[in-house]
Amino acid sequence: MAEISRVGIVGLGTMGAGIAQVCVQAGIEVVGREVDPELGERGRQTIDHYLARGVEKGRLGEDEKDAALGRLSLVTDLGELASCGLVIEAAFEDLDVKRALFAELDGIVEPSAILATNTSALSVTQIAEATRTPERVVGMHFFNPAPVLPLVEVIRTTYTSDEAFETAYAFARRLGKEPVACNDTPGFIVNRILIPLLNDCVRVLDEARVSPEDVDRAMRFGANWPIGPCALIDLIGVDVHVHVSEALHAALGEERMAPPQRLLEMQQAGQLGRKSGHGFYDYEPLS
């Protein structure tokens, strides 16, 4: 397997910027693509902000920060990703959007390049089927925040070649991550287990008339969770959790997968958790 020296990241929102940061800190050149320069620059500023925090906390030097940021280039044209050995798509969670991107990327990158999607809930197989070379398509599901959480689910479809899968798996290890192998099933591993469990925790709030604080304390001190379920949903983002819940419910038809009414109301009210400054708890809004 050829070592990947340049990675394309399509989408520099929360997840894309986090993945790009992990890559540049690992010494890999990143070509970040956004639909307009302003969004790209916002992604660069996010990466710069978190690298600067790393300097403040003594985790890396100022020269290391500058070198890492220097490995990031920004583009708006997908054609600029032609020289990338791996392209990771982190665009909006919409199947049609992702299929259109993969169909276009399939005609841009070299035949040996790997195309990966960071989807958390959509079918990797259906995304791969939009290309003429589905054997080189894999899922690489990073977890938010990508620079902090070590897990990457590496997802194989029925089309994925052994070489593409093994290259993606080895690349995740090179980033210092803990990859796990899984097949393309709804929710993969973590969300298939976690989403209905978190939904149950939210339903307990109303059914048992207990507070978010007490549910979180119960799971922290009774089940040894490092973070309570309400605080975890705030960290993930209520909107993200609802999206994944709805996708899994549509795919599996299991009632426990459906988002609880309380979460739907919180999403409608803009109470999205840490990102908005208010969810189950109050936070300082992200700057």
DSSP collapsed to 3 states, the chain = CCCCCEEEEECCCHHHHHHHHHHHHCCCEEEEECCCHHHHHHHHHHHHHHHHHHHHCCCCCHHHHHHHHHCEEEECCHHHHCCCCEEEECCCCCHHHHHHHHHHHHCCCCCCCEEEECCCCCCHHHHHCCCCCHHHEEEEEECCCCCCCCEEEEEECCCCCHHHHHHHHHHHHHCCCEEEEEECCCCCCHHHHHHHHHHHHHHHHHHCCCCHHHHHHHHHHHCCCCCCHHHHHHHHCHHHHHHHHHHHHHHHCCHHHCCCHHHHHHHHCCCCECCCCECCCECCCCC
Write out pLDDT tens, residues 101-145: 999 999 999 999 999 999 998 999 999 999 999 999 999 999 988
Q: Which residues of the chain have pLDDT under 70?
A: 1-2, 285-287
pLDDT at 145: 86
What kind of architecture, by CATH, is found in domain 192-268?
A: Orthogonal Bundle (1.10)
- Read off the tokens for 237: 């983002």
Question: Domain-by-domain residue ranges, the chain?
Answer: 6-183, 192-268
pLDDT at 121: 86
* The 72-75 sheet, strands edge to edge: 72-75, 29-33, 6-10, 86-89, 114-117, 137-142, 151-156, 178-183
Which residues carry out catalysis? Answer: 120, 141, 153, 191
pLDDT at 2: 64
pLDDT at 273: 95
pLDDT at 284: 84
pLDDT at 10: 98
Q: Which CATH class is domain 6-183?
A: alpha beta
